[in-house]
Amino acid sequence: MYEKLNILDEKDKRLRMISKEVKFPLSDEYKELIKKIIDELTYSQIEELAEKYDLRPGMGLAFPQLGINERIIVIVHEYEEGKFDNYVMVNPKIVSTSDEMIAAELGEGCLSVNRDVEGHIKRNARVTVEGFDEDGNKIRVRAREELSLAFQHEIDHLNGILFYDRIDKNKPFYSPEELRLI
Active site positions, annotated? 154
Residue 173 CB burial class (10 angstroms; 0-12, 13-18, ≥19)? middle
How far apart (Å, rounded) are the C-alpha atoms in residues 102 and 92? Answer: 21
The whole-angstrom separation of Cα 104 and Cα 27 is 35
Q: What angle do CA 98, 136, 67 make, to 5 degrees?
A: 80
User: 28: Cβ–Cβ under 8 A, 6 or more apart, which residues?
Assistant: none
Contacts of 37 (CB under 8 A, 6+ apart): 5, 61, 74
Q: Is 48 helix (H, G, I), strand (E, B) or coil?
A: helix
